[in-house]
Amino acid sequence: MSDRTPHVPKPGVKIHEVVKYPEPVLAKVAEPVTVFDAELEKLVEEMFESMYLAEGIGLAAPQIAISKQITTIDVSYKERPEDKLVLINPVILEMEGKQTEEEGCLSLPDIREKVQRASWVKVRAQNVKGEYFEIEGTELLARALQHEIDHLHGILFIDKLSRLKRDLVLRRIKKLIKHGEW
Ligand code: ZN
């Protein structure tokens, strides 16, 4: 993450603060988007800018305290324009295989743990205009899709860990909170 050139935000675009665990909005099921208007387009742009500034490759609206089914993903972090994705009301249609890789989350800074995910997923979502589309992903994209869609259902990656590992992570966070380092 540190070898990335710092993102220069677009002027005039609002930057949202990313909320951290245990902010209650992160544990809520997000509301479906029903209105596809200029305001939604503006919010999506703000999400991309906020995500890039936080050096993330994925952001879900609940992470900026907006409980709506919107996620922005860019697994190549601005390298390949075709990687820039907006998924509104996304649903996983199919998944296959297994992959276990280290995962992190902007809402859980400095916490990285190995998480098992499907190695391939097929997702249906809407774009900012409300049009439906399908996308398939493997490797990092499959992981990002599952991670972000989980956010929209109030699930964090630490919820995917074994009970023992999860408890250890939660204890570590508690300590950091107590010392004002979270
Ligand atoms: Zn996350």
* 70-113 pLDDT, tens digit each: 999 999 999 999 999 999 999 999 999 999 999 999 999 999 99
Indicate the DSSP class of residue 165. H
Q: How far is the CA of 56 from the centre of ligand 1 (A)?
A: 9
Q: How far is the CA of 39 from the centre of ligand 1 (A)?
A: 24
The ranges of the chain with pLDDT < 50 are 1
CA angle at residue 180 from 176 to 182, to 5 degrees? Answer: 55
**What per-residue confidence (pLDDT) applies to 3?**
59
Q: How far is the CA of 60 from the centre of ligand 1 (A)?
A: 7
Helix (H, G, I), strand (E, B) or coil at 36: coil
Exactly one of 45, 46, 148, 181 is catalytic; which is it? Answer: 148
pTM score:
0.96
Torsion over CA: 70, 8, 108, 158 (sign): positive
Considering the chain, what percentage of its residues have pLDDT values greater than 70?
98
Cα-Cα-Cα-Cα dihedral of 62, 27, 56, 139, to 10°? -120
DSSP output for 42-58: HHHHHHHHHHHHTT-SE
Give dist(CA 116, CA 29) in Å, integer: 22
Q: How far is the CA of 74 from the centre of ligand 1 (A)?
A: 13
Give dist(CA 157, CA 136) in Å, integer: 21
**What per-residue confidence (pLDDT) applies to 18?**
98
Q: How far is the CA of 142 from the centre of ligand 1 (A)?
A: 14
Indicate the DSSP class of residue 31. B
Give dist(CA 154, CA 98) in Å, integer: 22
Please say whether the beta carbons of 72 and 106 come within 8 A. no
Phi then psi dihedrals of residue 106, to 5 deg: -60, -25
Q: Structural domains in the chain?
A: 24-95+120-157 (3.90.45.10)
- Residue that the structure tokens 């002027």 belong to: 11
Catalytic residue status for 46: no
- Residue that the structure tokens 């995917």 belong to: 160
